[in-house]
Chain A
Amino acid sequence: MSETGVTQADDRLARFWREDGLADHDGAFALAVAHGLARRRLRWSLIRLGGVMAVAAVMLWAMTPWLIGLAGRFADRMALLGPAAVVLVVVISVLVITGLPAALLAGADDALGDRPPA
């Protein structure tokens, strides 16, 4: 085989390697990899969360007798907190419904000159 023949064969081989059907930038492939990474991160997050929850459940189960005793000791004092909590909730609800806190905040903005001129 002549030197020209070898060179031509080299060129044909080089063309064979070039024509691999792949693009320099393939957004779909990059997206698939990003998706795979996100799935993997989610899986690890769920595993970690599951582990934390399992540990918390075991701790809670182990502490149950102690917690029941503690609740029994404070039960009388906690009973007084009930009506106070109801009153607090009613007052906060009235304030939110009437918009009084927002009006007070707007007034403070005016005093600081934050409101744009009309």
Chain B
Amino acid sequence: MNLKVEELSKAFNGKKAVDRISFSMDRPGVFGLIGTNGAGKTTTIRMILGIIEKDSGSAEWNGKPISRETMSFGYMPEERGIYTKTKVLSQLIYFGQLRGMSHGDAKRSALSWMERLGVSEYKDMLAEKVSKGNQQKIQLLATLIHDPVLVVLDEPFSGLDPVNTELIRKLIGELVDEGKYIVMSSHQMSTVEEFCENLVMLHNGQTILSGNLKQIKAGYGHTNLLVRTGRDVTPLAQECGLELLAKRADETEFKITGDEMAEMFLKRIIADGQYPVKYEIREPSLHEIFLEKAGVAK
């Protein structure tokens, strides 16, 4: 099974919302669509799923165009919406039936998923009576009730409290283990970094970066140095040509040109009679890469 998106484009009133985006997924996992608000993530998703007409390009699942009639996909939109005046179980059954399930199957699946996400106690309550976090879980259940192979999650963690965030994190991991293909959009880079092996980075509708996350980061090399010492080492760093990136309560982060610079700085600190508690050389975060790329794109 594979998902292949090629050269998808869409313009609104002459303005390009998405310009020739391409990516593919050849095995189960999480694919990341990242970018700021208005970057074109939701438009891309809507084009892939056939909710809106694309101007050009194609989105195929196993070589066939994707549509609600040709394949089983689940989609959780960014703008959450459920029937507030309807009982939770009733609307889950309704969504299941719309996706071709029988009433019995939809009910069984809904109850099973509710159990899994810990919302069984709300099954006979009106949706408006349950908390926002639980409403989000119900929305996710509506996405997964028919056991789709391709799952598209638009900003799945937005508005969730830490407990529910952890629950959804765990669930996404389980879905991948079950063989699901997940396309996840987010503007929270740390989230994408945690889940996605591959990604596309969008800015104003343009693809500014795409590929395997590890390879992207490796391409940047070791650029960051985290240091925790007893005394402030910033003056020493400046002497050695390191650029201060961030000064936090318990550590300081510098930009380095490579491992040699880090080695030289370590010798200088030790020569100064200090022994660092933490001395970590690392690749740039996705957030930093994005800022750099988006800055270039501007």
Partners in one complex: no
A: residues with CB less than 8 A from B are: none
B: residues with CB less than 8 A from A are: none
